[in-house]
Amino acid sequence: MDLTSKVALVTGAGSGIGHAAARALARQGAKVALLGHTESELEKAADALRAEGGDALAITADVSSDSEMKAALQTLIDHYGRLDLVVANAGINGVWAPIDDLKPEEFDKTIAVNLRGTYLTLHHAVPHLKKQGGAIVVVSSINGNRTFTSPGATAYTATKAAQVAIVKQLALELGRHHIRVNAVCPGQIETQIDDNTDKRHVEETKIPAEFPAGEIPLRDGKPGASADVAEVIVFLASDASRHVTGTEIYVDGGQGLLR
């Protein structure tokens, strides 16, 4: 899965799955632009890639801002001259609450980051991918696609289902430009996403269920690691998956099938 000479953009690259994906792509030879909203975190992540011999560029931007994403893509092109791979990973859990308790501004924020952010990333990246073809990987979730058992996660599941719909739509739209579009749908992964999760009154919507041996059959109940998702992202970004497009791959150790 040699990615030498390729340039990749990874959003939400400061930590978690995004950082793991950036490292995995760099290890295969790709030059990687790490995009996120916290400059210090991004610079630390970029330094970690450089310490391993990678070529990394940190770009600070809010994925929900049209002007900032337009400027971010221009910064990438000015620095590297091209773009071949996009990992649209940036996202939040947001507020999880009963539908009659979930406030409009809370719903809007999750939509803005997860769905508008995915749209803006692709909106500004695709013109550059069209020049020579490439690959897009959207990081979705088992929520909204294989499972619907996270209490109060209406806004989050809506964005994750919509991301997979976008992947399927764009797989056909962009195929003529030799751009492949796929999704990964992680289950429970050890990341910091809980830091931006606000759960409120979720006991009102929770459906009781007990899993004595844990919810993840393949790992004896233990969550997956960010690297588990990153390796699948590299596969989808590389020519090893050259005839794969419009597909979602579940990286959940069987969790979604059990739930």
Q: For residue 1, tell me if it sits in a domain.
A: no
Q: Is the pLDDT of residue 218 over 90?
A: no
- Cα gap 138→167, rounded to integer Å: 7
The residue whose two tokens read 């996270």 is 150
Q: For residue 38, tell me if it sits in a domain.
A: yes
Q: Beta-carbon neighbour count of residue 139 at 10 Å?
A: 27
Tens digits of residue pLDDT in 81-112? 999 999 999 999 999 999 999 999 999 999 99
CATH number for the domain spanning 117: value is 3.40.50.720
DSSP 181: E
Number of domains in the chain: 1
Q: For residue 218, tell me if it sits in a domain.
A: yes
- Cα gap 259→215, rounded to integer Å: 7
State the pLDDT at residue 219: 75
Tens digits of residue pLDDT in 159-198? 999 999 999 999 999 999 999 999 999 999 986 555 556 7
Domain housing 178: 7-258
Tens digits of residue pLDDT in 147-162? 998 999 999 999 999 9
Q: Residues 134-144: what's their mean pLDDT?
A: 97
Helix-helix angle 39-51:16-27, to 10 degrees: 30
Residues 182/242, Cβ–Cβ less than 8 Å: no
Average confidence score pLDDT of the chain: 93
Write the single-letter amino acid at 2. D
Q: For residue 112, tell me if it sits in a domain.
A: yes
Higher pLDDT, 221 or 243: 243
Residues 233/138, Cβ–Cβ less than 8 Å: no
The residue whose two tokens read 């994403």 is 69
Mode of pairing for the β-strands spanning 56-60 and 179-186: unpaired
- Cα gap 23→13, rounded to integer Å: 9
pTM to 2 decimal places: 0.92
Q: Residues 197-201: what's their mean pLDDT?
A: 67
Q: For residue 2, tell me if it sits in a domain.
A: no
State the pLDDT at residue 222: 81
Annotation says 156 is catalytic: yes
